[in-house]
Amino acid sequence: RAGRARPGQARRGEDGRGRREAALRRSQASLGKFIIMAADSMEIDDALYSRQRYVLGDTAMQKMAQSQVFLSGMGGLGVEIAKNIVLAGIKALTVHDTRQCKAWDLGTNFFVHEDDVLNRRNRAEAVLPHVSELNPYVQVTSSVAPLNEMTDLSFLRQYQCVIVTEMKLSLQKKINDFCHAQHPPIKFISADVFGIWARLFCDFGAEFEVLDTTGEEPKEVFISNITQSNPGIITCLDNNPHKLETGQFVTFREINGMSCLNGSMHQITVVSPYSFSIGDTTDMEPYLHGGIAVQVKTPKMFHFERLGTQLINPTYLVADFSKPESPLQIHLAMLALDQFQESFARMPSIGCLQDAEEMLKIAVSLKEKLESKPQVNEDIVRWLSKTAQGSLAPLTAALGGVASQEVLKAVTGKFSPLQQWLYLDAMELVTSLEKGSREEFLPRGDRDDALRACIGETLCQKLHSLNVFLVGCGAIGCEMLKNFALLGVGTGWERGVVTVTDPDLIEKSNLNRQFLFRPHHIEKPKSCTAAAATLRINSQMKIEPHLNKVCPATENIYNDDFYTKQDVVVTALDNVEARRYIDSRCLANLCPLLDSGTMGTKGHTEIIVPQLTESYNSHRDPPEEEIPFCTLKSFPAATEHTIQWARDKFESAFTHKPSLFNKFWQTYQSAEEVLQRIKSGESLEGSFQVIKCLSRRPRNWQQCVELARLKFEKYFNYKALQLLHSFPLNTRLKDGSLFWQSPKRPPFPIRFDVNDVLHYSFIVSTAKLFATIYCIPFTDKDMSEETIFKIISGVKIQEFRPSNKVVQTDETLRKPDPIPVSSEDERNAILQLENAILANKATRSDLQMKELTFEKDDDSNGHIDFITAASNLRARMYNIEPADRLKTKRIAGKIIPAIATSTAAVAGLVALELIKVVGGYPFQAYKNCFFNLAIPVIVFTETAEVRKTAIRNGISFTIWDRWTIYGKDDFTLLDFINAVKEKYGIEPTMVVQGVKMLYVPVMPGHVKRLKLTMQKLVKPSADKKYVDLTVSFAPETDGDEDLPGPPVRYYFAHEDN
């Protein structure tokens, strides 16, 4: 074996762990030089980090890639933090531990395996190869040397951040004092999970500067008025809220009249959501029009106290406002736990009442030492004592996600750090376990011991027998599978299975946060790969991976029988429509649904439990505002407008037109056939556009470049000239105000300059895409500057001639329908097609184009190159701030920023609620959560209680109620109405099936339907056993609307129950 290393020293020796791990270490050693070079050159691997770059920004990413971190304690929490910060991309991590792997670790540490336990490997050495392979850019080394009161801590000076877990308090204080005293201070983080309790502490030094406290984009506010007063009041345009806060700074640009404000910076005071003040403007020129106020981000200094000081007078974050006193009470209870360990050199025994009483005495005596003298919460102290030896994997994941984000803050100075304590708990889990015997919680020498100590054997067994449907296997899906594996979900002998479905294949950008995947998995199915990786965490699990999308088209697979077999559905999705659909299926089949999502550092969880809570569809977010058509086409005011315009141009030219072209020539076999039909007077839909496209089809690379040059002229010169022809700069509206004033910006025609990088970029990227859709090969020589310059110099540009086309200015109007083809256009089309046939340019190969599908993550395809160049040229034309390629890619690709920290936290919080669902807990136990780790804020709230809808006469229903009626072959509509009246005490006056009205008395002929059989009315398919109908009832007062009722499931025949 390799010799022991000091805690901060790398270990690279082979230790008899098999060829694979030895090879991995050798490859990592050889990677060392490459990694250091990568860190020095600071090139960010966008294919890997693209989603995270949008969260942290490049400056923070570069700082992170130069930072070294020391992490002590490779239990469940330590490995969770290691995973997250290695995925994020720090420079180097040392994992330290002196303990051996035990069976206990299998239920808490997803990188400890059974052979590690059998061979009694050191925990740091056991996890090292697995943590290493998460990110090739990070040097991960292990240390197994003792770390105690006698250790010389000078080795820590090489690190920018030190994290300790599973360490006694006295040693934590010693290490913290050392870190705090350094210049600059070493950032210190302490994190622990004791059973159902978790705590996090941060000390980043006496002064810690943060350059960006929130990570949000600086706000831009269009101005409608500025008063000449003290203070000057600025009013937002069109009553749009400014979303600024008092004390923030703004700068101004494009103000007409009070122009001395342009370029100046002012601190603001909020007056209302739509106005703010900036100080004295009395002596300035009167405001005329226009102007934008832009938020200026200013650094903020944070101050931290040492651990020793904070133990007596803690500063903490309140996560659950329903129990604001809880953090201090947990703080005191945990101090009592620390004191217990110091006094007895052991943890309190699991479920031991004697130890709990001892800890209670310690808590009472410690209370006086705290400045605030908090009340001793006996329940907290007792349950902490009983469960402290245990470890709840979901709580570990949640705290690990939060702690990891604090590590990234420590090494980057990005986002507001935690000041200074956070306490999380799962107290709701144990309130119903009071009556359980102590034996329920005692260890049995297996992988469930740590979990059993927290929730008891009965709940463990229920988790084993669980049937779970996990929809989505991306970042949250991978984290959920990890939690399922550690909880033993789906491991029961007789019952229990996890079904996971995801239609997607793995891409490189997934590897940054979907931690079950590795580079050799790229292009493989997510669900199958994740299932195999999960079995390596817990081989006893039963997992069924599917490759299906969950939607109406797959209801033959995910039918009612499937849902009724599920105990719970967990969604890990990235869109609202899919969530709404799955929610409707869970509602129809009375299945609990656990939903969650993240966007950057923000995360949310929503728990939906039959009969207790509202459903996902019970509330709807307001729809996203669409950019008005006229704004996109003629009057952009922001970068987002120019990027969307360029994205639309891509879709139109390279997707939509080729698609129409191909469909047309799939319908008609030859150009001769089309010519004959048009000549005989037939109107063939789309023929004019298709023939125009055929006649202008480029035949070689030169013509692609020429076409790109003509597009440049059309988009960036003629368009501006036409707009200024229609609306000259001095145009005024009926009220006398200028037409061209904020937010409308006049365009400036752009004259083509081949030496302008942006102009050249547009020509090359556009020509490449034309060559691609027209299947024209091109070489590197074709792409050379010499070739491009030569082609462009020979292009003849026609002089601009203004047209009398009406320019749309009404923001409420949508994109107009295409203008009908005129008879002159038809004559031209015939002529063009005849010429193409005569010139042998309408052959079978000429009647095909390649349709492009926009793909944001493939840099070689030129899609983002085109959109960036086109968008920034349009921005330049309208004097709008340009966007770099990264921002363009995010907006055009509708990329959701993502980072492993918030994903881990959100999945942990969902898995906590899963335990409550399995245990059949009451409504009060469930918690929804919203967090933003950047600020940081974490808010737990009660779920929304299900509402009852009253019909009348004491009859009411909720969204979870479904009435059932059993019929037979000759059952008529009248029989159905009478059956509802007899069974539920109220007579329906209207019956509807989906959008089809089966019976509405006022509709002509509907009364006759009462005699028709339900089979004839509904017309079910042969295999359909039932139909879901909607009924409503007569109002109590004539003239009122009908009263809604619950869904009624009508079975065509009695089921054999």
Which positions are annotated as active-site residues? 630
The pair of structure tokens assigned to 961 is 């109620």
Work out the burial of residue 810: count CB atoms within 10 Å of its CB; fewer than 13 is exposed, 13-18 middle, 19 or more buried. exposed
| Type of residue numbered 714 | K
- Listed in sequence order, the DSSP H helices in 593-700 are 629-633, 639-650, 657-667, 671-679, 687-695
Residues 289, 346: contact at Cβ < 8 Å?
A: no
Q: Which residues contact 845 (CB under 8 A, 6 or more apart)?
A: 775
Residue closest to 605 by CA, chosen among 901, 931, 924: 931
Task: Quickly count: other Cβ atoms within 10 Å of residue 338's Cβ.
Answer: 19
What is d(CA 24, CA 289) in angstroms, rounded to the nearest whole number? 65
Residues 384, 337: contact at Cβ < 8 Å?
A: yes
Strand partners, 197: 194, 425
What is d(CA 253, CA 96) in angstroms, rounded to the nearest whole number? 53
State the pairing for strand pair 233-236/593-599. unpaired
Strand partners, 932: 602, 937
Residue closest to 721 by CA, chosen among 822, 800, 815, 605: 800
What is d(CA 570, CA 394) in angstroms, rounded to the nearest whole number? 15
The pair of structure tokens assigned to 329 is 């009470």
Work out the burial of residue 809: count CB atoms within 10 Å of its CB; fewer than 13 is exposed, 13-18 middle, 19 or more buried. middle
The pair of structure tokens assigned to 904 is 């881990």
Query: Which residue has tokens 């959100």?
Result: 906
Between the alpha carbon of residue 746 and those of residues 181, 637, 731, 810, 870, the distances in Å are: 59, 10, 11, 17, 18
State the pairing for strand pair 497-501/543-546. parallel
Residues 283, 290: contact at Cβ < 8 Å?
A: no
Phi, psi of 885 (to 5 degrees): -60, -35
Residue closest to 623 by CA, chosen among 572, 573, 585, 580: 580
- Residues constituting the chain: 1057
Phi, psi of 1019 (to 5 degrees): 55, 60
**Angle ∠(1030,1034,1036) on CA atoms, nearest 5:** 135
Asked, as a colleague might, if the bond just before 231 is cis with ω within 30 of 0, I would say yes
What is d(CA 42, CA 36) in angstroms, rounded to the nearest whole number? 10
- Return the HEC string of 150-202: CCCHHHHHHCCEEEECCCCHHHHHHHHHHHHHCCCCCEEEEEEEEECEEEEEE
Phi, psi of 351 (to 5 degrees): 65, 10
The pair of structure tokens assigned to 919 is 């245990």
Residue closest to 2 by CA, chosen among 25, 24, 30, 35: 25
Asked, as a colleague might, if the bond just before 218 is cis with ω within 30 of 0, I would say no
